Structure 1
Amino acid sequence: MFTSKLAASTAALTLVLTGASAIPAVALTAGSAAPAVIVRANGEHVLDVDYQVQETGYWCGPAATRIALSARGIYRSQADLAAELGTHTGGTDWIGQVTRVLSGYAGWYETKEMPNDPPTQAQKDLLWNDIVVDIDNGYPIVANIVAPPGNQPPGYPSDQTIYHYFTVIGYNDVDRTVLIADPASFSGNQIYWLTFDQLSTLIPPKGYSA
């Protein structure tokens, strides 16, 4: 799938540079289900997923991975994924563990590190391009985030820094927002929109699987 993904990324970048709006789909991984990509007139591109709240306080990684796989028609329990990821009571240590499991089931995925905080413009451009290419080809992105007080998604406890995984399942290319499926369900916020700019500040110094 690497060659196909590279071709799709190149095509997407070319279309962005030329102002075109359509992004060509690539062939699906053998054995995976055709993804349901819902394209709305207002610029929204959204994947159909099976959302679940994480079953323990430290299973955000397994839950986010499960949500991503469900877009491909692959359904594993959070417990099974926790074992495959090597998740422990302290969580899932590194985004590369998520990439390994995702690519084992669905191909396609690579680990993208974002060590700079704030991110460089090149890192932000790559993140947006990855979101567009992945979503339009039916692959949600799993992001490892750090959300400190003052820079948090809706509902997060404002008096602590949250280390977390969630899933990017859509984007809007008109207002540059991203749709998040958040297994934590803080204050009942499960699926919600964030600005792309905020997402790009939440990922450093961690990374994402795309």
Structure 2
Amino acid sequence: MRKRLVAAALAALAAGALTTPAAAQAPRPLTTVSVLAHGSKAGTAVVSGQNAPGTRLDVGGVHTASAHTLQIDYQVQQTGYWCGPAATRIALSARISPPSQSTLAAQLGTTVNGTDHISQVTGVLNANLGTGWYETKEMPNDPPTQAQRDLLWYDIVLDIDHNYPLVANIVAPPGNQPPGYPSDQTIYHYFTVIGYDDANRTVLIADPASFSGNQIYWLSFDQLATLIPPKGYSA
């Protein structure tokens, strides 16, 4: 199904007429916190806090004319090397009651050295959902080509509009880091993309590292596109 949608939508994109079907309905957790698009009259565009590792933060979705964010069950990664399991769990939580981080770490083959490759995340997402939706997308060029950037934005919109968060494997060196990251280190990491704002060309990140308390935050699409190379993402 996904490949048919991709082929049809890429043709529409080339013709300047991209549209996507309505999103599937997400399972709703018991408690929600609204995450609002940039420019919303109702309030802020950033949700962050100081949750201890393993505690829950239920984040509620919103869909406006230009923005779409998903409802997920956020958790801080429970060890320094479980960003892959935690990001995978966040993605799964938009659709199902997800396994624990420890269960996902076992499924992913995560060790004290982390989760080796984004393809392991893709396989575990599909195995738990039973949909075959997710594919591994490599971004080996640094900086990425325009074609890779276009595909990344298209994948974000397609996946979010169908209630599938993306998981990205990133490399964040000093001088190009999301908010709160240690500025003197290159961080190899996994986080989850749970929304987009087309008007502002931004993406909503659920970051299991919680660096300086930054857990759910908006990031420019341009920066996201520079953080993924030479790794990849599951979409």
TM over 0.5: yes
Within a 5 Å distance, the mapping from 1:126-137 to structure 2 comes to 126-137=151-162
Cα RMSD (Å) of the superposition? 1.7
Within a 5 Å distance, the mapping from 1:28-43 to structure 2 comes to 34-35=25-26, 38-41=62-65, 43=66
Within a 5 Å distance, the mapping from 1:187-202 to structure 2 comes to 187-202=212-227
Instruction: Say whether 1:185 aligns with 2:228.
Output: no
Give the 3-state SS of the residue equivalent to 1:50 in structure 2: strand
For 1:21 and 1:8, locate their aligned partners in 2 and report how far apart those are by CA, in whole Å. Answer: 11
What is the aligned counterpart of 1:44 among 57, 67, 80?
67
Give the 3-state SS of the residue equivalent to 2:9 in structure 1: helix
Query: Which amino acid letter does the alignment assign opposite residue 149 of structure 2?
Result: K
Q: Which consecutive residues of structure 1, in runs of 5 or more, have no partner in the other structure?
A: 29-33
Shift of 1:174: 1.0
Shift of 1:134: 0.5
**Partners of 1:142 and 1:167 within 8 A in 2:** yes
Instruction: Say whether 1:114 aligns with 2:105.
Output: no
Q: Which residue number corresponds to residue 48 of structure 2?
A: none
Instruction: Say whether 1:9 aligns with 2:23.
Output: no
Give the 3-state SS of the residue equivalent to 2:223 in structure 1: helix
For 2:122 and 2:19, locate their aligned partners in 1 and report how far apart those are by CA, in whole Å. Answer: 27
**Partners of 1:11 and 1:24 within 8 A in 2:** no
**Partners of 1:11 and 1:23 within 8 A in 2:** no
Query: Which amino acid letter does the alignment assign opposite residue 126 of structure 1?
Result: L
Shift of 1:104: 0.8
Give the 3-state SS of the residue equivalent to 1:51 in structure 2: strand
Q: Which consecutive residues of structure 2, in runs of 5 or more, have no partner in the other structure?
A: 28-60
What is the aligned counterpart of 1:152 among 152, 171, 177?
177
Instruction: Say whether 1:65 aligns with 2:88.
Output: yes
Query: Which amino acid letter does the alignment assign opposite residue 50 of structure 1?
Result: D
What is the aligned counterpart of 1:170 among 187, 195, 201?
195
Aligned pair count reads: 200
Deviation string for 1:146-177 (max 9, x for gaps)?
A: 00000000000000000000000000111111
Query: Which amino acid letter does the alignment assign opposite residue 63 of structure 1?
Result: A
Instruction: Say whether 1:142 aligns with 2:139.
Output: no
For 1:11 and 1:185, locate their aligned partners in 2 and report how far apart those are by CA, in whole Å. Answer: 38
Give the 3-state SS of the residue equivalent to 1:87 in structure 2: coil
For 2:67 and 2:12, locate their aligned partners in 1 and report how far apart those are by CA, in whole Å. Answer: 17
Shift of 1:19: 5.1
Instruction: Say whether 1:93 aligns with 2:93.
Output: no
Shift of 1:16: 4.2
